[in-house]
Structure 1
Amino acid sequence: MLVVCLLVGHNAWLWLGKGITPDTDILALLPADERDPVLQQSFTHMVDSAQQRVVVLVGAKDWLDAGRAADAFQATLAPHAGLLAFDAMGDEAQAGWLASLQPHATLLVGALDEKQLREQPARYWTDSALARLYNAFSGPKLGAFRDDPFGLFAGWAQERAGETPVRPRDGRLFVAGEGREYVLLTYTLRDSAFSLRAQQAVLPMLDAATGAVQRAVPSAEVIKAGVVLHAAAAGRQASGEIHTIGVGSMLGIVLLTWLTFRSFKPVGLTVVAIGIGFLGALSVCWLLFGRIHLLTLVFGASLIGVAQDYGIYFLCHRLGADPALDSHRLLRRLLPGLGLTLLAAVIGYMGLALTPFPGLRHMAVFSALGLVFAWMTVVCWFPALIDGRSLTAGPLARRYRGLVTRWPRLSGGPVSLVLVAALGGLAVLGCSRLQVDDDIRSLQSSPPELIRDQVKLGKLLDAPSPVQYYLVRGSSAEQVLEREEALKRRLDPLIVQGDIKGVQALSNWVPSQATQAARLALVEDKLLAAGGPLAGLAREIGEDPEWATATAAHLRVAAAPLKIDAFLKTTAADPWRHLWLGEVEGEHASIVALRGMRYAAIPALAQAGTNLPGVQWVDKVGGISSVLGRYRAYMGWVVLGAYAVVFLVLLPRYRGRTWRVVAPTAAASILTLALLGLSGQNLQLFHVLALMLLLGVGVDYGIFLQEESGHGSDAPWLAVGLSAASTILSFGLLALSGTPALRAFGLTMLAGTALVWLVAPCFTVTKEETHAMPVLA
């Protein structure tokens, strides 16, 4: 009682005092790459750069309508700047980053201009400068003519602007596509995108802003994207599933218990046992991990269908026993079987803890602890509160127990052999058709409209993929920049072929010192040398030689070496800062991102980085999918090992009948795989994880039936029926989950549990067989 009071008090403090909120970060289910911290940090940089941002495109066929719609959207969100802050990107910001780069302007030469400097004659550059001076349509002009007479810095800036289709227009950010003109609005979320509080506040705000747009310009289109939108969708889905699975399972168990025992006391005690299991698991998991994942609670809701097995086992034996028999004596007789069922279930759940997924480890620990607390509640409380006169057989118990005499038994007869052969053929056929699919994208569960908006926005903004990129490493920042430049030369043919549209890299903005020196030498030789294009330009515009000398000196002043650390402190670096990892674990690293990548070009992109020192192609989707496949195979062997462990644990008690305890679950697992194959389901890691749990659940039924096999008692038969029905109900509801991983898990458990229920009674033995194979008392 003291332990229960402590659990209730601790849970009350967690929810009411501390105000905990479950974590909704789906990435918690993914494996952390602990062997390569640089690679892991690169992925974190790419994800974090977008995690706190909400990107909105407000579009219309007419630019003025798009502007009015954007104003309505902004006005609605303006009072909530403390939660969702607007990122101002106007002319002042552009002027700021241009000014910060002006001291290095002479060194900043675009790739096309560098090529022309090497190939074009002096007259070309004199004519180019004259065109810039006298022709209003000769190209962009940044600053005074003397600051950039040949347009090299302007060409470089235009090249950098080409890294995104977004352009400034009338004090807004503008992009066009699909017959519409869009205003780009970006917001920064102040709280974590995975905070339930932030999600609950932000979504109504965005919906209200969208409504304001529709009222202002009914024909306007609003496209929204952001991690918070996907996290909120997952949170809503998981919250709904907690109620559906947990409440549905509980109602089903209550109904089954009432129809069996025709009393509220077993119902109340079963609910208490499950409740204490849930509270105990939550408290201990919080103490161990300092957090609780929302999917852990969803998955934990399914343990309701398992935790009640222990109470049902005791209640069914109490119903069928002599009313004069003391409940504590009855418990002592049942305790070996109860202990083995708990041990087998915990072995099954602990198999999940062997995975590299933090989320699954939390689920395994939560569920195992919940079973332990529920088991202890049954052992400590049920004998004291239930006596021989507390229970009366209800209509379900009376009708169901009549089936025990008619259920088929496995024997050496022809009917049994034909049935076994038929099931064996079905298993071989189904398993031969079973395919595997470890693609992480098959676990995508975001609403279609969110995915559609994300894809459309990505195309309009030409955004790079955050999960496919190059990781470049070196012993120094300078070496990293040099290796980036070597990689970009490799990628130039792929840009020409259309496999990618462009590259985003810090070396686009900060060339290596060797490249800066080479470009300065090229400018000196081709433009500033005596008698060169600059001198020719002075003659053409009527200036004396001193003007050319002074202009050359002015351009040399604007040739201060640009260092990466200095650039990262400027406003120009804000959109690209996530590409630079800096020093990690004693080495420097950066990210080279790809714009407009075709997925069919991934093999060519991977090949482009080979044999380049310090360059690594990163395909996070492919990498995680590979990990899922590797651990699917690994967990398959773990399942086989768990069968061996359970067999050895049960062997001292059941001796020659041990195989009868384990065989029903093994047969059900094989048939479940066959059914997956026949139904066209692809095998995933989560199917295998469910087979691990099925071992723990199914062996319970084998233990129940073998404990008093041949003694003529129908209590184990009734216990197996009620337990299986409750488990099927809870995991059947889990199979309705909108989360693909949980749905795969639930479908496997649904089919597997039903099959164990049907098969396990076939392996019971008669009284004569029991006497021939004595069981250790």
Structure 2
Amino acid sequence: MRLTLAALWLLALLALGWLASARLEFSGDLRRFLPDARTPEQRLLMEELGDGPGSRLLMLAISGEAPEALADRSRALHDALVNDPRYTLVTNGGEAGLDAFPEDLLPYRYLLTSSFDAAPLDADTLREALDARLQDLGSPAAGLVEPLIPSDPTLEVLALAEAWQPAGAPQRLHDVWFDKAGTQALLLVETRAAGFDPTGQLDAVGTIRDTFATQAAGSTATLDVVGPGAFSVDIGGRTQAEAQRIGMVDTIGLILLLLIAYRSWKMPLLGVLPLASAGIAGLTAVALLFPGGVHGITIAFGFTLIGVVQDYPIHFFSHQRAGLSPWRNVRGLWPALSTGVVATCIAYATFLFSGVDGLRQLAVFTIFALGIAALTTRYLLPGLVDPSPPDLADSPRLQRLWHRIEALPRPKWSLAVLALAAVAAIAWSPGVFWQNDLSKLTPVDPASMQRDTELRAELGAPDVRYVLVAQARGSDAVLDATAALRPALDALVADGHLDGYDMAARYLPAADVQRARQAALPDDATLRTMLAAALAGSEFNEDAFEPFVEDVARAKSAASLTRADLEGSPLATAVSGLLLEHDDRSTALVSLSGLDDPADVEALAAQARTADVDVRLLDMKAASESLVVEYRGRVLAAMAVALVLLVGTVWIALRSPRRVWRVLLPTLLTLLVIVAVLRLAGVELTLFHLVALILAAGLGLDYALFFEHAGDDRADQIRTLHAILVCSLMTLLVFSLLALSSIPVLRAIGSTVALGVLCNFVLSLLVARQRAAIEAARAELLP
């Protein structure tokens, strides 16, 4: 019968595991752990974090060889990647002149240039341009200019390339980008996959590294790849490696601890069944209810519930003894066990209303995992265990330990002193209490962040905190609105109040501007007449400029250029990073570098704002901090509701103020002590500390409930002591390893819960455990 039950249980787990693996999709997008954006600043921040072009940029640096060799490697890598569908842009600065434009976009130069806005393209303009080209042909620049003249006698390609050149663009050596020291060849790559698409980024980044490794095999050249996508890949690799290492140590520790605790090889095998059931049930639930992807943090944090889930079979094993039916044993434990499960599930259920997708996933995983673990312990596990193991209450070692604990004085006023000291430490510890910096939530290695900052500076990317934002229903409206700000912004730059700015309208004029320029272009007959007049007496042949006439004719009849038309060109990254288009609105950004006084630009925004176009200055740092503050407020509100529900659950179960107080006091004191210790250690609290506090509270409640459940029966107290010792040691092992993790999220969770385990065990032992009956104690002392 036992073998049949075990086989059916395992088959059910395999079936459920198959369902979970078939439906489960992992996500590394940290935005799942952020609240829904409510303000324009927050919405823009969230768009840029995951879907914006900035999240898809990778910065590459090749070093370790002579500059000429590095330039060759840059060109080789560029050529290998430029036509790969994984990337929408690959550039190393080698594109110049006509090469900067795809062939089909060349005629559009007459719609993009502002050269003829003040003075039209007429015979006099053409004559002056042709005279200038004759002089160019006699100058050292002849090699550059000569190929352009037939199709572009006014050199609009070069004029646009110069106008579009960023002020801080990297220097060009050997026709490619280099850093200021000339020791690193630089490339810029934009991936098709979003920055927080871990699968797509793994493929894109892996292809770059593999391609370079093949090309540079046997050389001293090295490649650095940084950017959001590269960080996502590195984080995923580190998280997986640490999870495997911690999981292996946890598994070995669990097996050894159960072997030592119960002196039976069966107990580790049986104890794993409720744990496996809990994990697979939690995964299946989130896979079915969240088809858009389950965050890795949800999975990592969810599996740390081993500290709670494993408690259930351990209590059952520790209380089992000869003469007691396993079914009767588990029924006797069920009031305490079910109360702990319900209270913890209610606490996590409050996160379902937090407005944060990651917390909803965590709540679903936790509720299903704890519920299934408890139910399998109650209704399946008793059918598998040996009904007549040795009674742990007869263990001489446990009896000696119990006597020493029994002799300890019961704390009374000292608990009030501890609470006051903890409150004082929380209130008056120096340093910042809350961590509001959104970047601190990411587990990116500091050295990689520093490298990212260095390469951004080398590539001329602005260090943007303040951004002018124009929003309207169409892209043309926002392009016009930002273009109208250029004279005022130029004045701020000239006065030294602004180092520089950039906007999409600089590269892509609005459709009405393009149409106006198109209308001003001469038709074919007029242009030929003007060109003939300009060529009169010129040294150029009369038919030399037929490509120019054809390009102007194509520009005259072409549809207006849009952002989509730029894909694959060097302009794509500049425009897509500054013009965000959605179904219901378009957003044009004006990046501002070195802004002295935000009030100057705020006044410009107010003047440009209309009924159709909203223009405002955004402080991105303030937006990120407000998002974190809002998130924290929701989590604290959820915790407050959870605390009320937890007290109500314990009250319903125990129905005695004294018993309720004895169970809740260790948990409440532990929460105070944890926060106090973290504050004294100079730790700035994050939202992950708060979520870990809920788990610590659940552990403490379980310890106190089982000590309370043992009552004043000496033998039952010894069995409970054994169970809680095993539970706390196992949980301490798990979370101590997490506290040593290099991933800040896991480190915060691990340190918080490990500290909670120690405090909960000691305080539950001293507060929740009752004095044993005098008669039983005396009987123990008799010979």
TM-score in same-fold range (> 0.5): yes
Of 758-767 and 391-400, more deviation after overlay is shown by 391-400
Distance 1:354 1:749, change over 3 A: farther
Write the distance in 2 (CA, Å) between the matches of 1:607 and 1:264. Answer: 76
Shift of 1:287: 1.8
Q: Is the partner of 1:446 in helix, strand or coil?
A: coil
Checking the alignment, whether the CA contact within 8 Å between 2:48 and 2:55 is kept in structure 1 is: no
Q: Which residue of 2 aligns with 1:409?
A: 410
Shift of 1:189: 6.4
Letter in 2 for 1:590: T
Shift of 1:334: 1.9
Deviation digits for residues 515-554 of structure 1 (CA, Å, limit 9, x no counterpart)? 9759998x99xxx9xxxx99999999799xx99xx9x999
Which of 159, 173, 177 is residue 180 of structure 2 equivalent to? 177
Matched, 1:161 2:165: yes
Q: Is the partner of 1:184 in helix, strand or coil?
A: strand
Distance 1:287 1:431, change over 3 A: same
Shift of 1:615: 2.0
Shift of 1:488: 3.6
Q: Which residue of 1 aligns with 2:479?
A: 481
Q: Which residue of 1 aligns with 2:777?
A: none
Q: Which residue of 1 aligns with 2:690?
A: 688
Q: Is the partner of 2:27 in helix, strand or coil?
A: coil
Shift of 1:70: 3.2
Shift of 1:275: 1.3
Which of 726, 729, 732 is residue 733 of structure 2 equivalent to? 729
Match runs of 1:50-199 below 5 Å = 54-59=58-63, 63-70=67-74, 73=77, 87=90, 90=95, 94=99, 96-97=101-102, 100-102=105-107, 105=110, 108-109=113-114, 131=132, 133-135=134-136, 136=139, 154-162=158-166, 165=169, 173-180=176-183, 182=185, 184=187, 186=189, 188=191, 194-196=197-199, 199=202
Of 392-401 and 627-636, more deviation after overlay is shown by 392-401
Write the distance in 1 (CA, Å) between the matches of 2:59 and 2:474. Answer: 35
Of 308-317 and 339-348, more deviation after overlay is shown by 308-317
Q: Which residue of 2 aligns with 1:640?
A: 640
Match runs of 1:580-591 below 5 Å = 584-587=582-585, 589-591=586-588
Letter in 2 for 1:594: S
Shift of 1:270: 1.2
Q: Which residue of 2 aligns with 1:294?
A: 296
Q: Which residue of 1 aligns with 2:420?
A: 424
Deviation digits for residues 726-769 of structure 1 (CA, Å, limit 9, x no counterpart)? 22222222222222122112211121221111112222365699
Letter in 2 for 1:635: V
Distance 1:102 1:164, change over 3 A: farther
Distance 1:78 1:295, change over 3 A: same
Q: Which residue of 2 aligns with 1:505?
A: 504
Shift of 1:294: 2.8
Aligned residues: 737
Write the distance in 1 (CA, Å) between the matches of 2:11 and 2:595. Answer: 57
Q: Which residue of 2 aligns with 1:30?
A: 34
Distance 1:637 1:192, change over 3 A: closer
Q: Which residue of 1 aligns with 2:382?
A: 383
Match runs of 1:205-224 below 5 Å = 206=209, 209-210=212-213, 212-213=215-216, 215-216=218-219, 218=220, 220=221, 222-224=223-225
Q: CA RMSD in A?
A: 4.8
Q: Which residue of 1 aligns with 2:252?
A: 251
Of 500-509 and 138-147, more deviation after overlay is shown by 138-147
Distance 1:105 1:72, change over 3 A: closer
Letter in 2 for 1:431: A
Deviation digits for residues 88-139 of structure 1 (CA, Å, limit 9, x no counterpart)? 87569736447635356277226xx979x79xxxx99998985554243789
Which of 308, 311, 333 is residue 310 of structure 2 equivalent to? 308
Which of 729, 746, 752 is residue 748 of structure 1 equivalent to? 752
Checking the alignment, whether the CA contact within 8 Å between 1:57 and 1:184 is kept in structure 2 is: yes
Matched, 1:225 2:221: no
Checking the alignment, whether the CA contact within 8 Å between 2:501 and 2:591 is kept in structure 1 is: yes
Checking the alignment, whether the CA contact within 8 Å between 2:201 and 2:232 is kept in structure 1 is: no
Q: Which residue of 2 aligns with 1:758?
A: 762
Q: Which residue of 2 aligns with 1:241?
A: 242
Distance 1:724 1:611, change over 3 A: farther
Q: Is the partner of 2:411 in helix, strand or coil?
A: coil
Checking the alignment, whether the CA contact within 8 Å between 2:503 and 2:591 is kept in structure 1 is: yes
Matched, 1:569 2:565: yes
Distance 1:212 1:736, change over 3 A: same
Deviation digits for residues 391-420 of structure 1 (CA, Å, limit 9, x no counterpart)? 453686455434431343234xxxxx2563
Q: Is the partner of 1:569 in helix, strand or coil?
A: helix
Q: Is the partner of 2:308 in helix, strand or coil?
A: helix
Write the distance in 2 (CA, Å) between the matches of 1:764 and 1:190. Answer: 55
Write the distance in 2 (CA, Å) between the matches of 1:769 and 1:557. Answer: 104
Q: Is the partner of 1:222 in helix, strand or coil?
A: strand
Deviation digits for residues 421-458 of structure 1 (CA, Å, limit 9, x no counterpart)? 25522431343226221101112322344323322321
Distance 1:211 1:12, change over 3 A: same
Write the distance in 1 (CA, Å) between the matches of 2:463 and 2:51. Answer: 10
Shift of 1:335: 1.4
Shift of 1:678: 0.8
Q: Is the partner of 2:692 in helix, strand or coil?
A: helix
Match runs of 1:333-348 below 5 Å = 333-348=332-347
Write the distance in 2 (CA, Å) between the matches of 1:36 and 1:696. Answer: 38
Of 456-465 and 93-102, more deviation after overlay is shown by 93-102
Letter in 2 for 1:342: V
Deviation digits for residues 542-594 of structure 1 (CA, Å, limit 9, x no counterpart)? 99xx99xx9x999997984986555642565533452476764544x133252
Of 205-214 and 220-229, more deviation after overlay is shown by 205-214
Shift of 1:505: 0.9
Match runs of 1:437-448 below 5 Å = 437-448=435-446
Distance 1:137 1:692, change over 3 A: same
Write the distance in 2 (CA, Å) between the matches of 1:83 and 1:612. Answer: 39
Q: Which residue of 2 aligns with 1:594?
A: 591
Q: Which residue of 2 aligns with 1:325?
A: 324
Distance 1:106 1:72, change over 3 A: closer
Shift of 1:490: 4.4
Shift of 1:667: 0.9
Q: Is the partner of 1:683 in helix, strand or coil?
A: coil
Checking the alignment, whether the CA contact within 8 Å between 1:104 and 1:560 is kept in structure 2 is: no
Q: Which residue of 1 aligns with 2:653?
A: 653
Distance 1:264 1:437, change over 3 A: same
Write the distance in 1 (CA, Å) between the matches of 2:361 and 2:111. Answer: 57
Letter in 2 for 1:420: A
Checking the alignment, whether the CA contact within 8 Å between 1:430 and 1:674 is kept in structure 2 is: yes
Checking the alignment, whether the CA contact within 8 Å between 2:35 and 2:631 is kept in structure 1 is: no
Q: Which residue of 1 aligns with 2:53?
A: 49
Shift of 1:679: 0.8
Letter in 1 for 2:114: V
Deviation digits for residues 285-323 of structure 1 (CA, Å, limit 9, x no counterpart)? 22222343333332222111110111122222225xxx3
Shift of 1:41: 9.8
Q: Identity over aligned residues, as a percent? A: 20
Write the distance in 2 (CA, Å) between the matches of 1:554 and 1:194. Answer: 44
Shift of 1:360: 3.2
Letter in 2 for 1:623: A
Distance 1:662 1:78, change over 3 A: same
Which of 1, 5, 9 is residue 11 of structure 2 equivalent to? 5
Shift of 1:681: 0.7
Q: Which residue of 2 aligns with 1:673?
A: 675
Q: Is the partner of 1:253 in helix, strand or coil?
A: helix
Q: Which residue of 1 aligns with 2:701?
A: 699
- What's the TM-score, normalizing by structure 1? 0.80
Shift of 1:720: 2.8
Write the distance in 2 (CA, Å) between the matches of 1:490 and 1:647. Answer: 61
Instruction: Give unpaired runs (5+ residues) of structure 2.
Output: 775-783
Write the distance in 2 (CA, Å) between the matches of 1:678 and 1:270. Answer: 38
Q: Is the partner of 1:368 in helix, strand or coil?
A: helix
Checking the alignment, whether the CA contact within 8 Å between 1:313 and 1:719 is kept in structure 2 is: yes
